[in-house]
Amino acid sequence: MSTTTNRGTAKSEALAGGLTLFAAVMLTIAGVLAIFRGIMAIAKDAIFVATPNYVFKFDVTGWGWIHLILGIVATLTGIALFKAPMWARITGIVIAALLLISSFLSLPYYPLWSIVLIALYAFIIWALCVVEEKNV
């Protein structure tokens, strides 16, 4: 009976480690992409399509700064997730949620890319939430 329990524990620990590693890699990549998106919006806001009568209308340069700052924090948090401390998991969830919301609010400016990022951020949140703390 203990062999089955040990196998189950080892399997769940491997799964938890794999999900945390996945979230770390994806959050780091998502952070870099958010940095690029922010730089694009700050440098040349004419590359984004503007929708005239959208409820959440913001200046594209302002969105650029939001994405740039969130991207930097996401990249640093993603790098910290490689060691999987609890603070990095919580920060990763919060940053991914903020990036998800910012991508939702920027849907009229870059719709397809925003939808792809919303799905990616949701998957990162899921991966960080399902991981159980290791029993030491």
Pick 91 or 132 by higher pLDDT.
91
What are the pLDDT digits (tens) for 29-49? 999 988 998 898 888 765 555
Q: Give pLDDT tens digits for 61-113.
A: 887 888 899 999 999 999 999 987 899 999 999 999 999 998 888 787 778 98
- Where do the DSSP E strands lie in the chain? none
Residue 131 CA to residue 72 CA, distance in Å, equals 24
pLDDT for 91 equals 94
Alpha-carbon separation of residue 53 from 57, 58, 109 (angstroms): 8, 11, 12
pLDDT at 40: 85
**pLDDT (0 to 100) of residue 133:** 58
